[in-house]
Amino acid sequence: MPARILDGTKIANDIKAELISEVRALTEAGTRPGLAVVLGGNDPGSEIYVRHKTKASEELGIYSEKFTPDDDVSTEELLKLVDDLNRRDEIDGILVQLPLPKQVDSKRVLLAVDPQKDVDGFHPLNVGNLSTQRPGLVSCTPAGIMEVLRRSNIPVEGQNAVVVGRSDIVGKPVAMLLTNANATVTICHSKTRDLPGVCRTADILVGAIGRPGMITRDYVKPGATVIDVGINRIDSGDEFKKYFAGNQKREQEFAQKGFTLVGDVHPNAAEVAGALTPVPGGVGKLTIAMLMANTVKATKLRRGAAQMAKV
């Protein structure tokens, strides 16, 4: 029986529809959420992401501003910009789009963002709030993963969860969220002994290691839920055949575009899994939706409506 596909696009659209109502209510009460995006340099991928984020803000009724410093911007200039945004009460969220130009100390800039406005959820204070289950802003992709599980009625409490990858952006925070939801969590990485064997203990398996198609069907316990965080571009014919040989839809797409996307989970995992997120159309769709949700949450937490915030 083929795996159930967990439709990230639908879940993201559902979240956005709910946020439209929340933003409207806040705006009518005189508190319109505001998001500032800082895009330093001319990275093409970053420009696309920022366009999507700006469009999402407009669709939801969130006030947004975009700042595009020149390629030669200094660390001190960006710190001044962030400080100005920290002081502006109508700005509830500040997003510093990475990567920044190479001469900029990115860590200093990210640490300068007011934790109350840190809609990426990267600031150590917000990481500490997550760890100690206090109200705060949670990294967008991990928060999106939990929404996929919740809205797909996949039980978490009492389940064995394995997270493959220990990054500060995805692996560690999603492990903490799963722990807070009463799962028993194992974090794996490049030094883990018998990685396939550990993965096969998982009722919920999260692939976030950044290696295309690494998690094959041999890593998956029959019936497990598999969450694929990876987004890897494939533009070689030989590589394509490793993952999608015989898949007519993908072959047509590859012929037209010259590339396709594969996650960290091999497509053959669908032969064993009970449910899984596709790539594309899975977890990636949730990241921008959760950024918008964090902006609304930050508005409530900052501007005296903490009792309304979903924490």
User: Do 163 and 239 belong together in one domain?
Assistant: yes
Q: Evaluate if residue 310 carries a pLDDT over 60.
A: no
**Which range has the worst mean pLDDT, 31-45, 88-102, 159-173, 215-229?**
31-45
Q: Which of 47, 82, 115 is the last residue of a domain?
A: 115
**Each residue of 223-253: pLDDT tens digit?**
999 999 999 999 999 999 999 999 999 999 9
pLDDT, position 305: 52
Query: Is 166 a domain residue?
Result: yes
In the chain, how many domains are there?
2
pLDDT, position 132: 96
Segment 264-284 shows an average pLDDT of: 96
User: Do 146 and 109 belong together in one domain?
Assistant: no
User: Do 154 and 97 belong together in one domain?
Assistant: no
Following DSSP, what letter does each residue of the chain receive, concatenated? -PPEE--HHHHHHHHHHHHHHHHHHHHHTT---EEEEEE-S--HHHHHHHHHHHHHHHHHT-EEEEE---TT--HHHHHHHHHHHHH-TT--EEEEESPPPTTS-HHHHHHHS-GGGBTT--SHHHHHHHHTT-S----HHHHHHHHHHHHTT---TT-EEEEE---TTTHHHHHHHHHHTT-EEEEE-TT-TTHHHHHTT-SEEEE-SS-TT-B-GGG--TT-EEEE---EEE--HHHHHHHHTT-HHHHHHHHHHS-EEE-SB-GGGGGT-SEE--SSSSTHHHHHHHHHHHHHHHHHHHTT-GGGS--
pLDDT cut 90: percent of the chain above it: 89
User: Do 107 and 144 belong together in one domain?
Assistant: no
- Name the average pLDDT for the chain: 94
User: Do 188 and 226 belong together in one domain?
Assistant: yes
Segment 73-98 shows an average pLDDT of: 96
Query: Is 41 a domain residue?
Result: yes
Which CATH number belongs to the domain containing residue 64 in this structure? 3.40.50.10860
User: Do 94 and 171 belong together in one domain?
Assistant: no
Q: Which of 100, 115, 130 is the last residue of a domain?
A: 115
Segment 275-291 shows an average pLDDT of: 95
pLDDT, position 274: 98
Segment 48-62 shows an average pLDDT of: 91
- Write phi, then psi, for 287 (nearest 5 degrees): -60, -45
Q: Evaluate if residue 44 carries a pLDDT over 90.
A: no
User: Do 161 and 275 belong together in one domain?
Assistant: yes
User: Do 144 and 282 belong together in one domain?
Assistant: yes
Q: Evaluate if residue 41 carries a pLDDT over 80.
A: no
pLDDT, position 43: 74
Q: Domain range for residue 193?
A: 140-286
Query: Is 38 a domain residue?
Result: yes
User: Do 204 and 248 belong together in one domain?
Assistant: yes
| Residues catalogued as catalytic | 53, 97, 120
Distance CA 210, CA 232 (A): 8
